[in-house]
Structure formats: C-alpha cells, structure tokens
Structure 1
C-alpha cells in the first residue's frame, strides 16, 4: 500500500507531527509526501531523508 501525506514544514524543517504520521504510515508501506509553499528545497531534502519516504512531491 502507498500513502500520500501532506506534511507541515517550517523554515526548511519537517514538523514533528508530520514525522510521526510518516513513521506510522511507513509500517504499512511506501509513503509519498506532498509539500506546498515557496522555497521548498531545504524542506524537500529533509523530507527525503526521513525513513519510509519513497517519494517527495513539491
């Protein structure tokens, strides 16, 4: 199963509630994350480094 999660970020960092959601969903399968906003390069890099994240969409 693949899950798509809209995650929260602030100043290039992924917020803890989003990290918790990713960790829980990763137990079920691949996780694709969606980031919205401007200047997403740091947040996208941070999201890609989280265990269980298979794809980052911006």
Structure 2
C-alpha cells in the first residue's frame, strides 16, 4: 500500500470515529430535548457508550 493510501485510510477512519461519537452525543441530546428527563439522557448516553468501551 502506498503512503498516500495509508494517510487517506487513516483520515477516513478518524472522521468516521469522530462522527460516531458525535452521533451518540446528539442522539442523547435529542432524547433530553424530547423528554426533558436527565435520567433518560443518561440512560441513552450510557447505553450507547458502553459497547464502545467494552468492545461489544
């Protein structure tokens, strides 16, 4: 693999990782906005982050 291809692959993986993190946070904020419940926000945010932490 050429160096340029490696840089493009690395950049796309980084962008994808960042987008996944933002999606989890924004989805949790949407739940907070719709329900007004901090408990629901915490549950959704925790449920979306745990698989990433434990590799599930």
- TM-score w.r.t. structure 1 length? 0.31
Computing the radius of gyration from Cα coordinates, the structure with the larger value is: 2
Bigger relative contact order, structure 1 or 2, given CA contacts below 8 A and separation 6+?
A: 1
Compare the two structures and name the one with the higher helix fraction.
Answer: 2
Compare the two structures and name the one with the higher strand fraction.
Answer: 1
- TM-score w.r.t. structure 2 length? 0.32
